[in-house]
Amino acid sequence: MAVEKTYYITTPIYYVNDVPHIGHAYTTLACDVLARFKRLDGYRVHFLTGTDEHGQKVEKAAEAAGIPPKAFTDKVSVNFRELAEAMKFSNDDFIRTTEDRHLRSVQAIWKKLLDDGHIYLGSYAGWYAVRDEAFYTETELKDGPNGTKTAPSGATVEWVEEPSYFFRLSAWQDRLLEFYDRNPGFILPESRRNEVVSFVRSGLRDLSVSRTTFKWGVPVPGDDAHIMYVWLDALTNYITAVGYPDTQSEIFRTFWPADLHMVGKDILRFHAVYWPAFLMAAGLEPPRRVFAHGWWTNEGQKISKSLGNVIEPRGLVEKYGLDPVRYFLMREVPFGNDGDFSHRAMINRLNGDLANDIGNLCQRVLSMIAKNCDGRVPDPEGKEGPTDAALLARAAAMLPKLREELDTQSFHNALGTIWDVIGEANRYVDSEAPWALRKTDPARMGAVLYTLAETIRQIGLLVQPFMPDAASRILDQLSVPRNARDTAAYTAGRLVPGTALPKPEGVFPRFVAEEAGEGA
Ligand code: ME8
């Protein structure tokens, strides 16, 4: 039997102190695209997302809402589930850190770390930022307004003094550096990797992993005056979801170590320093990769609730449609860089790349076939020429290129690769002028339209992970069977001349701005 190819991909689990916004949708979307591509490419995929429900930040949000924390998290967590549905995310699991399976898992990892001497009891005196749920040293702090100090992220800090358990992080410095050295692809992009390496080189202090001054969290086994530090609790979700502590289970053996933890750059340190150290200390393998993507702003401004400029993904989807929003987010910004959302940029992509490029290509080819070829896949009738072969070779080269690009999370380049072929196909339509061949050489017209239909089939197939609905409409219009839409069918499943096609319909209408000033 062939060896099964597997792929385990995770999003951060989101804090339930807030409603989901475009940033959350972005991270999960990137994972969804990869999960869908890997499934298409024959992998058994496990795609995990969920919510992070413990800690002081969530406790405070519940207090502010005047609801007990459990009831509050039940309510807010649903928003993230609904976001997943609205965006058609194909996650296989949705974890909540308040579930029993997670409690069992976090307590098990704690016991393992304690029994093996990686955790000791001491006391913490230092700065804490509730917004980041992170401890900071004096030297890390920045000057804030009115002579105050803030965390590097700008979050307010408070002085904390309390008994605390510590994880011996200082003991892991050399092993972490060695691990980064042996696994150059562990942290991407490269620039972020360098930041992490220099942080670890500058020396690691032991990490406080329990708190005693509030209650909303997982109790420390055997010492329930303490609750576990929310990041130890949260990071462990990635192994809970594959069955930890049952490391012999089929799911754990199949999927651990994870292939990719996708995160925003704000939480890279937790994933690339603390998490591999916890795992190695617990005798488990670290994940294969952590990718830290960039940060979105809104029309040039930081996105924040207090500025009142939070972009709600659902509103965008209602306005522009789901596929255009998915396309825009994956195409607009080189993945890894920061990006700016603007309606003008969104409309330009919609009308340019979608309506003009792919939309027109499909529209003109399919309607010419409907009119001139009796609504059936045309027959090339031995009239193929070198220009047809050249276009088909360009199309065939997309798949291996996409595999490489998606394996380095280069979503924008993957779309660029597909859109290069779309551009090529549109130029081919113009230069071959099949409408003129109708009278002069109908057999040659058949060969040209066949070449185009076949190119569109390959484009449609590869667009599926990015725009599942539009892709399926394209493939339906070419009567591509449902079971011939994976990469195995890429070269093996060429269109069969004579196959009846449904009546063509437009795939990407142009967006017409209703209000002045919206651009277009
Ligand atoms: O940090 N641009 O949860 P969180 C791009 N619970 N991405 C953004 C963004 C923006 N403006 N804003 C948020 C936590 N994100 C922890 C994670 S994991 C074990 C625990 C995305 O709700 C980005 O992925 O604050 C960022 O890392 C994440 O949301 C932070 O979500």
CA distance 24 to 14: 8
* Residue 1: DSSP 8-state: -
Residue 324 has pLDDT above 50, yes or no: yes
User: What is the whole-number distance in angstroms between the Cα of residue 11 and the centre of ligand 1?
Assistant: 9
User: What is the whole-number distance in angstroms between the Cα of residue 42 and the centre of ligand 1?
Assistant: 30
> Per residue in 415-436, pLDDT tens?
999 999 999 999 999 999 999 9
Report whether 90 contacts 32 (CB < 8 A).
yes
Neighbours of 337 (CB within 10 A): 12
> Per residue in 62-81, pLDDT tens?
999 999 999 999 999 999 99
- pLDDT confidence tier of residue 519, bands split at 50, 70 and 90: very low
User: What is the whole-number distance in angstroms between the Cα of residue 13 and the centre of ligand 1?
Assistant: 8
Residue 470 has pLDDT above 70, yes or no: yes
* Residue 337: DSSP 8-state: B
- What residue ranges do the domains of the chain occupy? 343-492
Neighbours of 164 (CB within 10 A): 22
Residue 281 has pLDDT above 70, yes or no: yes
Residue type at 393? A
Residue 351 has pLDDT above 70, yes or no: yes
Task: Choose the residue to mutate in 29, 97, 266, 273 for probing ligand 1, maximizing ligand atoms within 8 Å of C-beta.
Answer: 266
Confidence at residue 513, expressed as pLDDT on a 0 to 100 scale: 74
CA distance 518 to 343: 7
Percent above pLDDT 90 for the chain? 92
Residues lining ligand 1, judged by CB closer than 6 Å? Answer: 12-15, 23-24, 26-27, 52, 234-235, 237, 263-264, 266-267, 295-296, 303
Residue 516 has pLDDT above 50, yes or no: no
Report whether 107 contacts 119 (CB < 8 A).
no
Confidence at residue 310, expressed as pLDDT on a 0 to 100 scale: 87
- pLDDT confidence tier of residue 303, bands split at 50, 70 and 90: confident
Ligand 1, atom 28, lies closest to the CA of 264
Atom of ligand 1 nearest to the CA of 302: 11
Percent above pLDDT 70 for the chain? 98
User: What is the whole-number distance in angstroms between the Cα of residue 14 and the centre of ligand 1?
Assistant: 6
Atom of ligand 1 nearest to the CA of 238: 19
The mean pLDDT of 197-207, rounded to a whole number, is: 97
> Per residue in 149-201, pLDDT tens?
999 989 999 999 999 999 999 999 999 999 999 999 999 999 999 999 999 99
Confidence at residue 1, expressed as pLDDT on a 0 to 100 scale: 62
> Per residue in 135-148, pLDDT tens?
999 999 999 888 89
Q: DSSP of 244-309, one letter per residue?
A: TT-TTSHHHHHHPSPSEEEEEGGGHHIIIIIHHHHHHHTT-PPPS-EEEE--EEETTEE--TTTT-
Task: Choose the residue to mutate in 9, 11, 15 for probing ligand 1, maximizing ligand atoms within 8 Å of C-beta.
Answer: 15
User: What is the whole-number distance in angstroms between the Cα of residue 282 and the centre of ligand 1?
Assistant: 26
CA distance 253 to 397: 35
Atom of ligand 1 nearest to the CA of 267: 27
- pLDDT confidence tier of residue 520, bands split at 50, 70 and 90: very low
Q: Was domain 343-492 assigned CATH 1.10.3720.10? A: no
- pLDDT confidence tier of residue 514, bands split at 50, 70 and 90: low
Atom of ligand 1 nearest to the CA of 262: 24
Report whether 48 contacts 11 (CB < 8 A).
yes
Residue 518 has pLDDT above 60, yes or no: no
CA separation, residue 131 to residues 68, 128, 134, 163, 230 (Å): 20, 9, 8, 21, 12
- pLDDT confidence tier of residue 271, bands split at 50, 70 and 90: very high
CA distance 484 to 464: 13
Ligand 1, atom 19, lies closest to the CA of 235
Ligand 1, atom 18, lies closest to the CA of 12
Task: Choose the residue to mutate in 10, 11, 14, 16 for probing ligand 1, maximizing ligand atoms within 8 Å of C-beta.
Answer: 14
Ligand 1, atom 12, lies closest to the CA of 23
Q: Which backbone phi and psi does 113 adopt, to 5 degrees?
A: -65, -40
